[in-house]
Amino acid sequence: MAVADPVRDGIRCMMLRGGTSKGAFFVAEDLPTDPAERDDLLLRVMGSPDPTQIDGLGGAHPLTSKVAVVSRSTEPDIDIDYLFFQVGVDEPVIGTAQTCGNLLAAVGPFAIERGLAQATTERSTISIRLVNTGDVAQVSFATPDGRPDYDGDVAIDGVPGTAGRIDIALSGGEKPLLPTGAVSDEIDGHRVTLIDNGMPVVLLRADEFGVDGDESPVDLESRDELHDAVERVRRAAGPLMGLGDVAEQTVPKMLLLSAPREGGAISTRAFIPSRVHTSIGVLMAASVAAGIRIAGAVGADLARIDPADETTGVEHPTGTFPAAVTVSREADGTWSASSSSVRTARKIFDGTVFARPRR
């Protein structure tokens, strides 16, 4: 049951870093059941709308303005349901059209911390349904003495230091890998590949937009004409991908691709969609890695791929993401894919958060 007064009494909340994102985690029963009331509360908790989010938990960037709501699953063979919310920073918007593969790394540990799931051995595997997309993930992590252990020697680009290894295996379910059924389409004069291997993305050639591919996120964000051109493609791509009108949504993500520079398979700059990602999301990387393994897809001719190696090095502004992806073509010509990745997570605080009285 939700607390009677989230302003004066507060709500149970845990802040965790998952991969290269950070978010506020809640047990579903601690929040209002009415969607409008819940969304208003989350905006007030995160301090939105405000570019600084000075009066809430948000960190003034989409990568740190995220919420995970977790509950026991009623689905057979599934342990946990994970509902993701992308909270607008300077706009009062709550997005649920996408999920977050980075925060997914922290869902299993959080579920055990809150008693929603039980550790089984020294290393536990939790089956998680991604409610936003319908995908199912198997997430494995260390649980000595029945508790998550966040310490370890695994480093991931975009996060300082090291932490415990978290393995994520994701199946795409029954939705098509290529939403239009085509390896490439044309939108606003640009050849594009529309693909969804856990995250709906649009693959674009960086050079068609006057981008070399090694620019910083700050540089790219300062180019208004570039943003407008990418946004025109994004809004046209939404209906083609079955997402409807995406003007107020944060999907699809827009990926500018160029030849690799640091020994990876492909170089990326990701619009998410108005800001440019300082690294890359787990599921964005999985979608890129799947796309460039399909002959004729945008970026396939730029990629350097070893066909014998399932791991695809997806370069981003702060390093390289190793995305392990398998892609296959069915007898009827449709493409499918599955992916796995290694992430880390860390519990930052656990306690009570107090919502601002009003927006």
Domains in the chain with CATH codes: 11-165+344-353 (3.10.310.10), 185-342 (3.10.310.10)
- Per-residue model confidence (pLDDT) at position 9: 94
- Per-residue model confidence (pLDDT) at position 256: 98
pLDDT digit string, tens, across residues 230-276: 999 999 999 999 999 999 899 999 999 999 999 999 999 999 998 99
- Per-residue model confidence (pLDDT) at position 173: 64
- Per-residue model confidence (pLDDT) at position 52: 97
Mean predicted confidence (pLDDT) in 288-300: 97
- Per-residue model confidence (pLDDT) at position 172: 62
The pLDDT-based confidence of 203 (bands split at 50, 70, 90) is very high
How far does Cα 325 stand from its chain's mean position?
16
pLDDT digit string, tens, across residues 22-42: 999 999 999 999 999 999 999
287 pLDDT higher than 60: yes
Mean predicted confidence (pLDDT) in 53-60: 97
Q: Tell me the pTM.
A: 0.84
Q: Which residues of 13-25 are buried (b: 16+ CB within 10 A; e: fewer)?
A: bbbbbbbbbbbbb
Mean predicted confidence (pLDDT) in 272-294: 95
Mean predicted confidence (pLDDT) in 104-128: 97
